[in-house]
Structure 1
Amino acid sequence: MHVVVVVAAAVWGLGSGLAAATVPWRRWLGEEPVAGAVRPAGPAVLGAVVCAALALPGPARPELAVWLLLVPVALLLARVDLAVKRLPDVLTLPAAAGTAVLLGGAALLPGHDGSWPRALLGGAVLGGVYFTLMMINPAGLGFGDVKLAPALGLALAWYGWRTLFLGTFLAFALGALTALALLAARRAHRGTALPFGPFMLLGALTALLLAAR
């Protein structure tokens, strides 16, 4: 039965990646279209791997459905941020509200492995942390990052404060390491702005995978 869940999750991830790669987000956001063929194979494979990895720790718990539903949103957010350095409200705000509601539903089902009140508090805490950091250093973080933080805080704090800290730490660590690597390769300079959303998402994913083992 568990193999079926993992395979179904991988198929869902495959479709999520294809959707994230082909959805006409530039038109939705009023961005200028870019010429060139869309290559959906990479996002499709990435989505399948991520979803299968989320489903791999058994037995399947109710919150798994929440993580799987967030994957297509996360893939699209990463794609948009990498392309135009934006995390649009049309994705970040519904992600936060939807995560809160869906985790509330998961908390009502048997077999869940988290705390909904702690998740809500974690979302507020992480949103506050990012807002404070943005106010201290506006050049380091954007308001889109602040709006993405509550959704990630909800997901991470569901499993505990340690998971919330780990996911946040990994985001900044991965961002710093990437910046140093680009500087060393002379592909960026000190004033180069890097999209931080993908690092936030990757840090959260890693922490969730470790927490669900």
Structure 2
Amino acid sequence: MPVDLDLVLPGAAAVWGAVVGLLVPRGAYRFSVEPEEHWRDRCPDGHLIGGWIGTARCRAGGGHVYGPSGALVATVTAVVCLLLAAATGTRPELGVWLLLAPVGVLLAVVDHKVQRLPDVLTLPLAAAALALLGVSALLPEHAGDWLTSLYGALALGGGYFVLFLINPNGMGFGDVKLALGLGAVLGWYGWPVVVLGTFAGFLFGGLYGLVLVVARGAGRKTAMPFGPFLISGAFVGLLIGAYAA
């Protein structure tokens, strides 16, 4: 009996997302430091942390759990991967989305925690997105364009750089570097998707800021992480672009 891959893929992608999501918390904890501080190499109890990938559990401390919730991160990553697979189907770029999704989740967690987007994550994300999409462009049945990915990365990165120059207090330079990778991903499905994903990110950020104003009396100078909203907006744009392609 033939297997319908379009039905199997979302479930398999969800399993992939859950497994790799469980490996995110340790890196998220180690990266969640202020810009002038070194990456964390010890758990809250002072025990040495081995490696960057894995659960945030200290074996030397009797299994003490630290960092973000592994179950929550795994669930979010699983849902993200499931939706990407459902929208993309069997096209080769799905492999790119599934490889990059955990990095996006990691960046969102770190920025939410300490309002920082580490260069060691954002710049390789952009390079990996362009390289992997370049490979996808050589495979049959792909539904995107690599040159538009490149131009999208340059356009979105350049646009965010201008915003950074205009208002450095409102736009961090980490957001500019993150925009390179997001522009590459969104550009794969064309300029309308770049615009849609960018608008969605600003919309989500604006709505969150409004909630802060209403609930906590926040003002214009209240600092808030923008990376999670840029990533969420790009995710929405990517879903729509993949589904419509």
TM-score range, shorter chain: over 0.9
Which residue is 1:180 aligned to?
Answer: 210
Please give the alpha-carbon distance, in whole angstroms, between the structure 2 residues aligned to 1:92 and 1:166.
21
Q: TM-score, normalised by structure 2?
A: 0.82
Which residue is 1:8 aligned to?
Answer: 12
Matched, 1:189 2:189: no
**Paired residues of 1:20 and 1:79 also in contact (CA < 8 A):** no
Please give the per-residue CA displacement for 1:149-180, whole angstroms capped at 9, x wherever unaligned: 01000110110100000000111111011101
Please give the per-residue CA displacement for 1:81-117, whole angstroms capped at 9, x wherever unaligned: 0111100000001000010100000000000000001
After superposition, the Cα gap between the structure-2 partners of 1:185 and 1:58, relative to the gap in structure 1 and judged at 3 Å, is closer
Matched, 1:206 2:236: yes
Please give the alpha-carbon distance, in whole angstroms, between the structure 1 residues aligned to 2:32 and 2:205.
29
The offset of 1:6, in angstroms, is: 1.4
Written as runs of structure 1 = structure 2, the 5 A alignment for 1:39-58 is 39-57=69-87
Please give the alpha-carbon distance, in whole angstroms, between the structure 2 residues aligned to 1:97 and 1:114.
17
Which residue is 1:83 aligned to?
Answer: 113
Matched, 1:107 2:111: no
Q: CA RMSD in A?
A: 1.8
The offset of 1:212, in angstroms, is: 1.3
**Paired residues of 1:2 and 1:58 also in contact (CA < 8 A):** no
The offset of 1:187, in angstroms, is: 5.5
Please give the alpha-carbon distance, in whole angstroms, between the structure 1 residues aligned to 2:130 and 2:6.
26
Q: Match for 2:213: what amino acid? A: L
Which residue is 2:166 aligned to?
Answer: 136
- Higher mean Cα deviation, 3-12 or 103-112? 3-12
**Paired residues of 1:77 and 1:91 also in contact (CA < 8 A):** yes
Structure 2: tracts of 5 or more residues without a match? 45-64
- Higher mean Cα deviation, 133-142 or 181-190? 181-190
Please give the alpha-carbon distance, in whole angstroms, between the structure 2 residues aligned to 1:134 and 1:60.
38
Equivalent position to 2:185, from 155, 159, 163 = 155
Please give the alpha-carbon distance, in whole angstroms, between the structure 2 residues aligned to 1:209 and 1:186.
33
* Secondary structure of the structure 2 residue equivalent to 1:168: helix
Please give the alpha-carbon distance, in whole angstroms, between the structure 2 residues aligned to 1:120 and 1:31.
31
**Paired residues of 1:156 and 1:204 also in contact (CA < 8 A):** yes
**Paired residues of 2:31 and 2:118 also in contact (CA < 8 A):** no
Count residues with an aligned counterpart.
213
Which residue is 1:98 aligned to?
Answer: 128
Which residue is 2:62 aligned to?
Answer: none
Please give the alpha-carbon distance, in whole angstroms, between the structure 1 residues aligned to 2:191 and 2:225.
26
**Paired residues of 2:153 and 2:180 also in contact (CA < 8 A):** yes
**Paired residues of 2:32 and 2:110 also in contact (CA < 8 A):** no
Please give the per-residue CA displacement for 1:129-165, whole angstroms capped at 9, x wherever unaligned: 0000000010111010000001000110110100000
Matched, 1:21 2:18: no
Which is richer in helix? 1
Select the structure of larger CA radius of gyration. Answer: 2
The percent identity for this pair of structures is 50
**Paired residues of 1:145 and 1:196 also in contact (CA < 8 A):** yes
Q: Match for 1:55: what amino acid? A: A
Structure 1: tracts of 5 or more residues without a match? none
